[in-house]
Structure 1
Amino acid sequence: MNKLKNILYPSAVMVGLLALWWIVVEQTQSLIFPTPLEVFTGMLQLAQDGSLWKHIGASLLRVATGFIMAVLIGVPMGLWMGRVEGVYRTLNPLFQILRPISPIAWIPLTILWFGVGNTSPVFLIFLASVFPLIVQTSAGVHTIEQRYLRAAENFGVSRAVLLRQVIFPAVLPEILVGMRVGLGVAWLVVVAAEMIAPVSGLGYLIIDSRNAGSRYDLVIGVMIIIGLIGLLLDTGMRRLERLKSIRWRYGR
């Protein structure tokens, strides 16, 4: 019954919003803002000619590349900062200064460093996701109860085994939280990142649709696609949190 409610209630809200959208457009007789049917028709045309899937694939590839780079750098950095107090005191102020800076603010420097191409949006996506991973991972190491570490050291456990069998499993739930936050932020900035991309990606498609005849049906359609993909990515990360090796840390 609860599962049915979890499906019916959100669906009812979505249907209500679509109906309200349609009524408002029809009542105002807007010549610019499209109806839901016009948005659906425009996106169907893009899907049929294959261009929609090309842009989705380009965006997902850039986000995946930047996010994987962030995981490969952010998680080890967070573990190092969490284990070595001197490193934490040295680097944490720097990361806390850089973390609040919007990735959009980096666009001029990114173009200067990497030019206009695939490297620039990947770098922006990397910046968007690496800091949540570093902060969350280091915070997770600091929450480990010291008695577990002391017990392992009393048994003569090496540093490598301690990291692999004690610290990493204990921090894994926090790492997943950082990954979830980082991936959400990375997908959030995909539009801004792809403003400087070549000729592909959902962000580019929004700008191109606006400039090519003010196709607001495609603009809104792509915005909806971005939201739906973001929901799917978040759902996937939530499912990872339910793995047996991770879910012990959460109440539900």
Structure 2
Amino acid sequence: MTATQTGPADELVGSTVPIDGAASPSVWNRVWPPLIAVVIAVGLWWLATTVLAAPTSLLHQTAPQKALPAIGELLSRGVLLSDTGYSLYRLLVGLLVAAVIGVPAGLLIGLNTTVERAATPLVQFLRMISPLSWTPIALAVFGIGNQPVIFLIAAAAVWPILLNTVAGVHAIEPGFLHVARSFHATRTEVLTAVVLPAIRGHIQTGLRLALGIAWVVLVPAEMLGVRSGLGYQILNARDQLAYDQVVAVVLVIGVVGYLLDLIARLALGGRAGRAQA
């Protein structure tokens, strides 16, 4: 009687691991690594601000046992939710302005080689300028209020949208364009039937990158000439020497930014998957 030898293929058949990749982790296996990382981070935060800090140091006011209750205090006063709402409004309007400018400009640059050669040096020059450098000009032109903040957000967010749109146009298979032209499609038909569906994923990537950049720029922009928003709330708490509230607002900024990126990843990723299907 001949013994049966077990090969790698037989082991795969008898195992629960899918052939095309590793088994999907359970919910607990997905949760415990970030949970432990958060616990360690909070522990290091407590150690630095409570144990290692000098007795007279202001770091004691930024300890987690003081900053976390300060979030509840700000919520009870009603300022945190309203300031978050103001910040999200400015963020969304700034992103909309950036998309309205960035997508058409990216299409024009990507579809026309002459325009691309002419615009590339100017685009590379402007995108390397910090958006906050435009603050004095924005305040002089728009005055104090939402407009300069929205301008600074748009100035920061337009470049990833524009550049990803150009990259999407360059990634289109030339054969698709040749087929469309062979059927005597007009420029509008080529744009709507070939180009825009092909670059949808690149535009979505640009929007997600722009969202992260805009959220980072929003906070310092709100420290200039406005009396609402999360950036203003940091300055207000600092002026009152309430550093526990400063850290509380910083934590809220991080949590809201994380949630915004998560929502964008789920929404845009799902659309990209449906588009590819």
**TM-score tier (shorter):** over 0.9
Q: Structure 2 residue aligned with 1:36, among 64, 73, 91?
A: 64
Could you say which residue in structure 1 is the equivalent of 2:81? 53
Could you say which residue in structure 1 is the equivalent of 2:268? 241
Over 3 Å counting, the alpha-carbon distance change for 1:152 and 1:3 in structure 2 is farther
Could you say which residue in structure 1 is the equivalent of 2:207? 179
Query: Counterparts of 1:45 and 1:245 in 2: how far apart (Å)?
Result: 41
Segments ≥4 residues shifted beyond 3 Å:
244-249
Over 3 Å counting, the alpha-carbon distance change for 1:8 and 1:175 in structure 2 is same
Q: Structure 2 residue aligned with 1:210, among 222, 229, 238?
A: 238
Over 3 Å counting, the alpha-carbon distance change for 1:244 and 1:71 in structure 2 is closer
Q: Deviations over 1:174-230 (max 9, x none)?
A: 111111111110000111110124210000011111111x11111111111111111
Could you say which residue in structure 2 is the equivalent of 1:10? 34
CA drift of 1:30 comes to 5.4
Q: Structure 2 residue aligned with 1:86, among 114, 137, 155?
A: 114
Could you say which residue in structure 2 is the equivalent of 1:229? 256
The one-letter amino acid of 1:21's match is W
Query: Counterparts of 1:244 and 1:216 in 2: how far apart (Å)?
Result: 42
SS in 2 for 1:196: coil
Query: Counterparts of 2:160 and 2:184 in 1: how far apart (Å)?
Result: 33
Query: Counterparts of 1:215 and 1:57 in 2: how far apart (Å)?
Result: 22
Q: Structure 2 residue aligned with 1:190, among 218, 236, 260?
A: 218
Q: Deviations over 1:136-190 (max 9, x none)?
A: 1011101111111101111222222211121111111111111111111000011
Query: Counterparts of 2:46 and 2:56 in 1: how far apart (Å)?
Result: 11
Which structure exhibits the higher relative contact order, with contacts defined as CA atoms closer than 8 Å and separated by 6 or more residues? Answer: 1
Query: Counterparts of 2:274 and 2:116 in 1: how far apart (Å)?
Result: 28
Query: Counterparts of 1:71 and 1:20 in 2: how far apart (Å)?
Result: 40
Q: How does 1:110-149 map to 2 (within 5 A)?
A: 110-149=138-177
Are the counterparts in 2 of residues 133 and 175 from structure 1 also a CA contact under 8 Å? yes
Identity of aligned residues (%): 36
SS in 1 for 2:58: coil
CA drift of 1:65 comes to 0.6
The one-letter amino acid of 1:144's match is I
Q: Deviations over 1:89-112 (max 9, x none)?
A: 122211110101111111111112
Query: Counterparts of 2:274 and 2:50 in 1: how far apart (Å)?
Result: 48
Q: Deviations over 1:52-109 (max 9, x none)?
A: 0011001000011111111111111111111111111122211110101111111111
Q: Structure 2 residue aligned with 1:70, among 98, 112, 115?
A: 98
**For structure 1, which segment, 58-67 or 230-239, has the greater mean C-alpha deviation from structure 2 after superposition?**
230-239
Compute the TM-score of the two structures, normalised by the length of structure 1: 0.93
Compute the TM-score of the two structures, normalised by the length of structure 2: 0.85
Query: Counterparts of 1:115 and 1:49 in 2: how far apart (Å)?
Result: 29
Which entry has the higher C-alpha Rg, 1 or 2?
Answer: 2
Are the counterparts in 2 of residues 129 and 182 from structure 1 also a CA contact under 8 Å? yes
SS in 2 for 1:243: helix
Over 3 Å counting, the alpha-carbon distance change for 1:89 and 1:125 in structure 2 is same
- After superposition, the CA RMSD in angstroms is 1.8
SS in 2 for 1:181: helix
Q: Deviations over 1:3-33 (max 9, x none)?
A: 4322211111111111221123221345422
Query: Counterparts of 2:274 and 2:128 in 1: how far apart (Å)?
Result: 29
Over 3 Å counting, the alpha-carbon distance change for 1:30 and 1:163 in structure 2 is farther
